[in-house]
Amino acid sequence: MKVEQHKIALAETIRNWHLKGWSPATSTNYSFRLAEDPNTIYVSRSGVDKSQFTANDFMEVDLQGIAKPSFADIRPSAETLIHCTLYDLFPETQCIVHSHSVYSVLHSAIEQEQVTIEGYEVLKGFEGIATHETTVNCPILDNTQDMVAFSETLRNAKDRLTIPAFIMRKHGTYAWGKNLFDAKRHLETIEYLLECEWKLRQL
């Protein structure tokens, strides 16, 4: 797909996720890049109501999160550096998505290091998992307003990122993939599992 097609497809996904309650107020951020131009990241600009998000609400930044000259007067998401770090840690990544779901926040308010999930059929939604007879750990990383510090935390936690997702404590979930389809599948997989686990543990 060309750039505009990517923008349109991801913008539609963002609006749909808003309907699920995953992006209250103007929260959450998203990005993608293209294999033919891996040094340009198309990231959601800051302060946009996700129910109204369109293809025009993406801006271009470099691999350090600095706005390209034609977008210098537009503010990218405050968490753009997280995207830059994930693209660096996982070079095959072409799309990163984010959720402020209730269930990720609840788990991270209770659990200390990770959410352990096992035995669900939907675990096969994660890249490389072919059976429900497995256990995964979704890491929980402490939230901070210092994105440089959080990026360093993320780098130090790379070995814990055994699935393409993690939770920022009392904040939300990040997921990524080789394209929008994979990133979307990964986020929806972890969010479904977090909801199942939370409800199961309340029985």
Q: Which domain CATH number covers 83?
A: 3.40.225.10
Buried b (16+ CB within 10 A) or exposed e, 59-80: bbbeeebebeeebeeeebbebb
pLDDT tens digits for 125-159? Answer: 999 999 999 999 999 999 999 999 999 999 999 99
- Give the number of domains in the chain: 1
**Residue with tokens 């390209």, as numbered in its chain:** 68
More confident residue, 1 or 24: 24
72 has pLDDT over 90: no
Put simply, whether the predicted model's pTM sits higher than 0.75 gets the answer yes
Amino acid at position 170, single letter: K
- Domain encompassing residue 47: 3-201
Over residues 169-198, mean pLDDT: 98
